[in-house]
Amino acid sequence: MSEVNKVDLGSIKIHKKVLAEIAYSAVSDVKNVSLMTKDFMAGIGEFLGAKAYPGINVFLDKNNQVSIEVKIKVKYGVNIPDIARQVQDAVRDAVEKTIDIDLKDVHVNIQGIERRNK
């Protein structure tokens, strides 16, 4: 066997917004769930060119471990603990596959219930 030479080409930095975008895509794929809507300030920021994900917060602790908080609404009649676990699994899987990091936590915060219009 020959030894493979490793060359250090520098560092890779991934912005929190990238993690938020990955989480946004993962949550969008879960049925019966929607992210919280934009508030006025997020709307202004997006108008000026800043992409905002109002229902997603990304945190980095002092040990450089990443946690993600997702604020969602669920459809009326859905089992909330089950759907919350589905969201956690979807976000964790998407981040681990895309960026190859282990998340410390994925917090799901249920902000409301969506009812059907009659």
pLDDT tens digits, 88-113? 999 999 999 999 888 999 999 999 99
Task: Please name the helix (run of DSSP H) or strand (run of DSSP E) that holds residue 25, with its range, or none.
Answer: helix 16-28
Q: Which fold has domain 16-114?
A: Alpha-Beta Plaits (3.30.70)
Distance CA 90, CA 22 (A): 10
Tell me the mean pLDDT in the region 46-65: 78
Domain positions in the chain are 16-114
Task: For residue 118, give both structure tokens.
Answer: 């009659």
Q: How many alpha carbons fall within 13 Å on the CB side of residue 53?
A: 22
Place of tokens 């917004």: 17
For residues 106 and 70, the answer to whether their CB atoms sit within 8 Å is yes
pLDDT at 85: 97
Task: Please name the helix (run of DSSP H) or strand (run of DSSP E) that holds residue 56, with its range, or none.
Answer: strand 56-60
Q: Provide the pLDDT confidence category of residue 32 given band limits of 50, 70 and 90.
A: very high
Distance CA 67, CA 19 (A): 10
Which of the residue ranges 20-29, 30-39, 40-49, 61-70 would you say has the lowest mean pLDDT? 40-49
